[in-house]
Chains A and B, each alone.
Chain A
Amino acid sequence: KAGVTQTPRYLIKTRGQQVTLSCSPISGHRSVSWYQQTPGQGLQFLFEYFSETQRNKGNFPGRFSGRQFSNSRSEMNVSTLELGDSALYLCASSLNAGNTDTQYFGPGTRLTVL
């Protein structure tokens, strides 16, 4: 079965722009979580979606948003990009929401903000 896929793999943007990242979960998985990974802060939770609804959100500003479609694919959007948004953005999928199922990660999207 195919794993979690993320597109694009690499992205370069300038400050003030916006960006949309895409995540396709493992077939049959209904929950998608997003994480930001930086050398300084490590892996930090952004938000989680299940059945097209945001179930939980981490401590990130409103510039970070997301959505999930009826086929469980998810997108996250970052508006008004700042230099500090440069990071590896990872999505993870699981069968269901919450702590009942293991989360499997995609390869990530490396975002560089200049």
Chain B
Amino acid sequence: GESVGLHLPTLSVQEGDNSIINCAYSNSASDYFIWYKQESGKGPQFIIDIRSNMDKRQGQRVTVLLNKTVKHLSLQIAATQPGDSAVYFCAEMEPRSQGNLIFGKGTKLSVKP
């Protein structure tokens, strides 16, 4: 498959455990944040988003936490499954931005059966 990044931070977890993927974003003015999952050979797939007026948002098996004080985002995946293995990117968007998402470098999640 395609490599989406050299020397990516890697998180290795056991199937069934919870995963936490962290991201430091760059612009304190950013007000919209998204987590994407990218599997080999595919484009990024939307997982969950959060706006800056919230500090937590939950989806199905996923939770995003936003700490604006330290410009930090995290993605928590409950009961991690082999199908969760992928590269995860956080992305930020500034207010009044015209469609310009700024992506982090990504974290590779590897799930051991």
- Does A55 sit at the interface, judged by CB under 8 A? yes
List B residues 58-105 near A (Cβ within 8 Å): 89, 91, 93-105
Candidates A33, A42, A99, A102; contact of B31 at CB < 8 Å = A99
Stretch at the interface among A12-20, A77-85, A104-112: A104-112
Chain A interface size band reads 20 to 34
On whether the beta carbons of B98 and A97 are closer than 8 Å, the reply is: yes
Q: Complex Cα distance A88/B91, Å?
A: 18
Q: Do A105 and B101 contact each other (CB < 8 Å), given the known contacts A39-B5, A99-B95?
A: no
Q: Complex Cα distance A50/B103, Å?
A: 21
Q: Complex Cα distance A82/B10, Å?
A: 31
On whether the beta carbons of A90 and B43 are closer than 8 Å, the reply is: yes
Q: Which residues of A contact B89 (CB under 8 A)?
A: 42-43
On whether the beta carbons of B44 and A90 are closer than 8 Å, the reply is: yes
Chain B interface size band reads 20 to 34
Q: Do A55 and B98 contact each other (CB < 8 Å), given the known contacts A39-B3, A99-B32, A102-B34?
A: yes
Closest to B3 in A: A39
Q: Which residues of A contact B105 (CB under 8 A)?
A: 42
- Does A40 sit at the interface, judged by CB under 8 A? yes
Q: Which residues of A contact B46 (CB under 8 A)?
A: 102-105
Q: How far is the CB of B81 from chain A (nearest CB, A)?
A: 22
Q: How far is the CB of A96 from chain B (nearest CB, A)?
A: 9
- Does A75 sit at the interface, judged by CB under 8 A? no
On whether the beta carbons of B43 and A56 are closer than 8 Å, the reply is: no
Q: How far is the CB of A75 from chain B (nearest CB, A)?
A: 17
Q: Which residues of A contact B96 (CB under 8 A)?
A: 98-99
Binding site for B on A (CB under 8 A): 4, 31, 33, 35, 37, 39-40, 42-45, 48, 50, 55-56, 58, 88, 90, 92, 94, 97-99, 102-108, 110
Return the 8 tightest CB-CB contacts between A and B, nearest first: A48-B99, A56-B98, A105-B43, A43-B103, A55-B98, A99-B93, A99-B32, A33-B99
